[in-house]
Amino acid sequence: MSQISNAIATRDNGPSSVIEQYKPELALVAASHVKVDTFARLAVGALRQNPKLAAAAQANPGSLMSALMTAARLGLEPGTEQFYLRPIKRKGQPEVQGIVGYQGIVELIYNAGAASSVVVEVVRANDQFNYVPGLHERPVHTVDWFGERGDLVGVYAYAVMQGGATSKVVVLNKDHIARAKAKSDGADTEYSPWRTDEESMWLKTAARRLGKWVPTSAEKRTAALERTDAPLPASPAPGVLEAADPDDETPIEGELVD
């Protein structure tokens, strides 16, 4: 059992109480822009809205705090589309797993300050999509927002950098998505986001690939820093996404609670 799990076991292990008790520890690891009181309220709210999540947190409060520590370090809001909290079973035992959502990845890109905008969009069968590398700077995507768009067929992502240049454009088809899904633990279980919110998972896969080509940061650049001549990082901070979000890259022995 981990040190944090041992410490939690000696205290009141109700999930809401654990979060309150460990706010000082969260503050120590949190990105500088995180307001820990607000962060804690979001986490408690997520538990109250999802009885199965609350039960997993009650059974394994150490896993809850591990997930929350990761969210705090990245500066992402827990229990939102930035950072999902979901109940899983690992070797038959319930626990809480933290997963970075596609909006969280976009937030990490914005935090680095190198991008002025980030575009992540799905393409459906009845959309018009055209992108020829070397000919087009960015994809040309035309959508009939009030018509029947059809099934998902692809997804793309790119960033417009400060100064107007376009980053590498990531374009993924159904085969790319299928391979990413195959690496995701519990993808075919009832409560997997691959089944409950498939479009968001397509968006996340593209955003995650983009995050390997543009700078990402857990810390927001301050207005004062942006007024200086300090250079922007030329490449993503190593390990920011990989260490935080194993869901798409490293299959683990676990299944979602159903």
Question: Do 233 and 130 reside in the same domain of the chain?
Answer: yes
Last residue of a domain, one of 100, 134, 150: 100
Does the pLDDT of residue 242 top 90, yes or no? no
pLDDT computed for residue 257 by the predictor: 39
Last residue of a domain, one of 49, 69, 100: 100
Report the candidate in 47, 71, 45 with the shortest Cα–Cα distance to residue 59: 47
Other CB atoms within 10 A of residue 227 CB? 8
pLDDT computed for residue 9 by the predictor: 46
Residue type at 93?
Q
Task: List, for residues 200-228, the tens digit of each pLDDT value.
Answer: 999 999 999 999 999 999 998 754 344 44
Cβ neighbours of residue 220 under 8 Å, at least 6 residues apart? 31, 32, 33, 75, 111, 113
pLDDT computed for residue 6 by the predictor: 53
Q: Please say whether the dihedral angle defined by the alpha carbons of residues 74, 76, 78 and 82, taken in this order, is positive or negative.
A: negative
Question: Do 67 and 135 reside in the same domain of the chain?
Answer: no
Task: List, for residues 70-104, the tens digit of each pLDDT value.
Answer: 999 999 999 999 999 988 888 888 999 999 999 99
Structure tokens at 65: 């705090």
Instruction: Average the pLDDT over each of 37-46, 121-130, 213-222 and give the range with the smallest value.
Output: 213-222
Other CB atoms within 10 A of residue 64 CB? 30
Question: Do 93 and 119 reside in the same domain of the chain?
Answer: no
- Better-scored residue on pLDDT, 41 or 184: 41
Question: Do 68 and 107 reside in the same domain of the chain?
Answer: no
**What's the total number of domains in the chain?**
2
Q: What is the mean pLDDT of residues 53-82?
A: 95
Question: Do 115 and 56 reside in the same domain of the chain?
Answer: no
Structure tokens at 66: 């591990």
For the chain, the average pLDDT equals 83
Q: Please say whether the dihedral angle defined by the alpha carbons of residues 11, 14, 15 and 17, taken in this order, is positive or negative.
A: negative
pLDDT computed for residue 124 by the predictor: 98
Q: From CA 179, how far away is CA 203, in angstroms rounded?
A: 14
Instruction: Average the pLDDT over each of 14-18, 73-77, 148-152, 182-186 and give the range with the smallest value.
Output: 182-186
pLDDT computed for residue 183 by the predictor: 87
162 neighbors 230 (Cβ within 8 angstroms): no
Residues of the chain above pLDDT 90, percent: 67
pLDDT band of residue 194 (cuts 50, 70, 90) is: confident
pLDDT band of residue 256 (cuts 50, 70, 90) is: very low
Task: List, for residues 101-124, the tens digit of each pLDDT value.
Answer: 999 999 999 999 999 999 999 999
Question: Do 135 and 241 reside in the same domain of the chain?
Answer: yes
Structure tokens at 109: 């890109």
Domain with 50, as residue range(s), is 3-100
The radius of gyration of the chain's CA atoms, rounded to the nearest angstrom, is: 19
Cβ neighbours of residue 10 under 8 Å, at least 6 residues apart? none
Last residue of a domain, one of 75, 100, 125: 100
pLDDT computed for residue 190 by the predictor: 63
Alpha-carbon separation of residue 223 from 29, 161, 201 (angstroms): 22, 17, 32
Q: What is the pTM of this model?
A: 0.79
